[in-house]
Amino acid sequence: MEWDYTWESLNAPPRIVEKGIFLSTGEQKKKMLGLFGHGESGKVILIQSKDIREVSSVYFCLAPFLISS
């Protein structure tokens, strides 16, 4: 599976979730038959280690600033 987003399209800070880090794309999930899908859309980067998840989430928060300088 491939996906490509720019830093500008990630409109919220990354969140640590049980399986890794969730990156919000700001898109809303489409409803099926008007019943399902009401949360935000995004991608989860799977990271097993809790320590690496925490360090990586800080990096994702700072990366746009590090890249632009």
Q: What is the mean pLDDT of residues 12-37?
A: 74
* Beta-carbon count within 10 A of 54 CB: 12
Instruction: Tell me the per-residue pLDDT of 6-16, one tens digit each, with 9 for 90 and over.
Output: 777 777 888 88
Highest average pLDDT, of 6-10, 32-36, 56-60, comes from: 56-60
Q: Tell me the domain boundaries of the chain.
A: 7-68
For residue 38, what pLDDT is reported?
58
Rounded to whole angstroms, how far apart are CA atoms 64 and 16? 18
For residue 14, what pLDDT is reported?
84
**Percent of the chain residues topping a pLDDT of 90:** 0
pTM over 0.75: no
Rounded to whole angstroms, how far apart are CA atoms 66 and 58? 12
Picking from 47, 67, 69, 64, the residue whose alpha carbon sits closest to that of residue 13 is 64
Q: Rounded to the nearest 5°, which phi and psi values hold at 33?
A: 60, 25
